[in-house]
Amino acid sequence: MNLPINHKPAAWISWWSAAVGAMDACTGLLLILAPAMTLKLMGLSVPAEVLPYQSWIGAFVLSTGLAYGWAIRQPASEREKGAREMIWKMTALVRIIVALFLTSRILTGGLSAGWSTVAATDAVVALVQWIALKRRALA
């Protein structure tokens, strides 16, 4: 996979962090405020009794999205550069675990195939971030 990280890496990193962070923050907030509607917009359905848990998951998704806010800032010091890398490492780790969990549940029949879009999105975001980290694009 050839990423455009060699061309203005700071701008690319900030753009990616803003886009992915906004995606998560908006999804999380919607899951907190209106879980049934949000899941319907995503083409998913869950029994009504699990909607409170979807809101709880929304709080987690919102916090993950907001974490990217720190990665948007231009680091003023080496310590802040390290923080940016750690945010990308941790969010990539969370995303790959979520993608693997969802994929295993889909394959075993525990979740509908509609959840594959969530799994795929998390897997792609994690992959892009791991490649960028491996190439030291945030350094």
Residue 4 within any structural domain of the chain: no
Are 9 and 71 a contacting pair, CB within 8 Å? no
The structure's pTM equals: 0.85
Residue 139 within any structural domain of the chain: no
Give the pLDDT confidence score for residue 92 in this predicted structure.
97
Residue 3 within any structural domain of the chain: no
Q: What share of the chain is helix, strand, coil (3-state, %, to 5)?
A: 80, 0, 20
Residue 60 within any structural domain of the chain: yes
Give the pLDDT confidence score for residue 138 in this predicted structure.
79
Structural domain count, the chain: 1
Residue 87 within any structural domain of the chain: yes
Residue type at position 89: K
Residue 43 within any structural domain of the chain: yes
- Determine how many CB atoms are found less than 10 A away from the CB of residue 106: 17
Residue 2 within any structural domain of the chain: no
Give the pLDDT confidence score for residue 10 in this predicted structure.
58
Domain hosting 123: range is: 10-134
pLDDT tens digits, residue range 21-50? 999 999 999 999 999 999 999 999 888 899
Residue type at position 73: R
Give the pLDDT confidence score for residue 5 in this predicted structure.
46
Residue 78 within any structural domain of the chain: yes
Mean pLDDT by groups of 10 residues along the chain of 139 residues: 51 88 97 96 90 94 92 70 87 97 97 96 97 87
